Amino acid sequence: MVMEEIEIRELRSEDEDAVRGVDITTQRQYLGNKWDEMNEEEQEAHLVLKRSEFLVNIGTGFGFVAESGGRIVGFVLAHETLPFRGSVYIRHIAIVPGFQGREIGGKLLEAVIEKAKSMGMKKVWSMINTDNPRSMKMHEKVGFKLRDRKEAVYEIG
Asked if the structure places residue 82 within a domain, the reply is yes
pLDDT at position 115 over 90: yes
What pLDDT, on the 0 to 100 scale, is given for residue 2? 46
How many domains does the chain fold into? 1
For the stretch 38-74, pLDDT in tens is: 998 888 888 877 777 777 778 778 999 999 999 999 9
For residue 19, give its domain range: 6-155
Q: What is the CATH number of the domain that holds 112?
A: 3.40.630.30
What pLDDT, on the 0 to 100 scale, is given for residue 61? 84
End-to-end alpha-carbon separation of the chain, Å?
Answer: 40
What pLDDT, on the 0 to 100 scale, is given for residue 124? 94
Average pLDDT over residues 130-152: 85
Asked if the structure places residue 66 within a domain, the reply is yes
Asked if residues 64 and 74 have their Cβ atoms less than 8 Å apart, the reply is no
For the stretch 1-42, pLDDT in tens is: 446 789 999 999 999 999 999 999 998 988 888 989 999 888
Asked if the structure places residue 13 within a domain, the reply is yes
What pLDDT, on the 0 to 100 scale, is given for residue 148? 73
CA distance linking residue 110 with residue 104, whole number of Å = 10
For the stretch 65-80, pLDDT in tens is: 999 999 999 999 998 8
| Nearby residues of 50 by Cβ (< 8 Å), 6 or more positions away | 44
Percentage with pLDDT > 90 across the chain: 54
What pLDDT, on the 0 to 100 scale, is given for residue 1? 43
Asked if the structure places residue 1 within a domain, the reply is no
Instruction: With H, G, I as helix, E, B as strand and everything else as coil, classify residue 11.
Output: coil
Average pLDDT over residues 117-121: 93
